[in-house]
Structure 1
Amino acid sequence: MKKMSRLGLMWGWLSILAMLVGCTTAKPVAEWRDANYQGGPFNNFLIVGVAGQESIRRTFEETFVNRLRDEQVNAIAGFEAIPGEARPSKDSIKAAIEEKDIDAVLITHLVGVDEKQIYHPPTYSGGVYGYYGVVRGYAYEPGYVSKQKTVKLETNLYDASSEKLIWSMQSATINPSNEKKLIEAKIKTVVKRLKAQQLLAVP
């Protein structure tokens, strides 16, 4: 068996870590659609993000609107359609729907953040005798514990005219590097699933 140097093992772990940090994804963990709904696809969205910080809400809504416009789909951010309300009321949303001729309302909110510790077993060469091989020059990396954060977000799509929930999806993002990456990953997944469900009126 070839011996691996400690330096080689270290660079291997660093390469894996770099890939994880540079690739933030929002994986769908639950999805539902009203099987009896016959409407859609939609072409004029009201985007509402529910967040504790107004800056995060604005970033989310703006990013989502720009993403839909890239798809040539009309959209308006909640903070623009309903100014002055951090958490828009039902009456405010209904008024914005009528004024802006909205046909669908997309609301995203945080479900929860889970944090846990993960044990990574030691890496060594030499098969079942690897531990004995340590003292004889085999490469060895001790086990260690890392923290894993999973952010879960839920997006609900409503038909504006009937106020009926027609689609819902929860996603999970593991160890997002920052809020911007988390938002972009979530929006990318939502748009992909809306297309698959034929709820997005793309040209």
Structure 2
Amino acid sequence: MRQLLKIAGLFLVTSILCSCASVSLVDTWRNPGVRPARLQKVLVVSITKNDSNRRVYEDMLASQLSRQGVEAVAGYTLIPAGERASWSVLEKAMKQAAAQAVLTVQTIKVEQQTTVHPGYVDPYPGYWYPSAYPTWDLPSYYRSMAHYGPGYISTYDIATMQVNLFDASSGKLIWAATVESTEPEKVTTVGQELARIVVRSLAKDGLI
């Protein structure tokens, strides 16, 4: 029974670890012609037609920025869902938030990728018993088969996301980043990791 519980526990932990989406920073760029003071107030805007996803990304980024001492406002609190495409509405929101900058996030493409995982060499001749290997014993069998495994194919989605930081007064692009994530459907996990990576990079570049 104890052994079964250990196996079940290991399976559960493995399942949890494998279910985590992966988020990575591909590259960043900073405008050498724009040198703002450290930002204290930022409006966060997720550009998407999915309102629930929008709230997650904006909330996660705003929360992570707040931990760095930045007064961040989630765009959905000031910009109604049906009006987010209007420049005048965004301009009004920037004034209401007294924002020095606007941080935008948008998924620009989702691609399906396939990875082929090759198997190991098969030592088994295809049939059983001494005619194949007269001297085949347990040690030699186990050593050979322990290193054998069939190949397999895995298919998964990769989302490319663009994060931009604009100066609120001039409208100029201050900073940009490209981020990739696997399993983009796991919005909460991706949002948390995205926020952590982006805010850490902004702090590293001396913008917050």
Shift of 1:61: 1.0
The aligned amino acid for 1:94 is E
Q: Is the 8 A contact 1:21 1:177 kept in 2?
A: no
Could you tell me which runs of 5 or more consecutive residues in structure 1 were left unpaired when the two chains were aligned. 1-13, 124-129
Report how far residue 77 of structure 1 moved.
Answer: 1.0
* Compared CA separation, residues 15 and 78, structure 1 to 2 (3 A): closer
For 1:184, the equivalent position in structure 2 comes to 192
Aligned residue pair count: 182
Matched with 1:163 is: 171
Under a length normalisation based on structure 2, what TM-score does the superposition of the two structures give?
0.78
Pick closer, same or farther for the CA change 1:141–1:93 going to 2, 3 Å.
Answer: same
Larger Rg: 2
What amino acid is the match of 1:21?
Answer: S
Q: Does 1:132 align with 2:123?
A: yes
TM-score w.r.t. the length of structure 1 is: 0.79
Aligned to 2:101: 104
- Cα distance per residue 1:60-80 (max 9 Å; x no partner): 112221222222210111111
Q: Distance in 1 between matches of 2:196 and 2:203?
A: 11
CA shift in 2, pair 1:101/1:166, >3 Å: same
1:117 Cα offset (Å): 1.4
The aligned residue for residue 181 of structure 2 is 173
- Residue matched to 2:41: 44
Unaligned residue ranges in structure 2 (runs of 5+): 1-11, 127-135
Cross-structure match for 1:120: 117
Question: How much has 1:20 moved relative to structure 2?
Answer: 4.3
Asked if the contact 2:22/2:183 (under 8 Å) is kept, the reply is no
Structure 1 Cα separation of the partners of residues 93 and 183 of structure 2: 36
Structure 2: distance between partners of 1:51 and 1:33: 24
The answer on whether the counterparts of 1:155 and 1:168 sit within 8 Å (CA) in structure 2 is yes
The answer to whether the 8 A contact 1:153-1:170 is kept is: yes
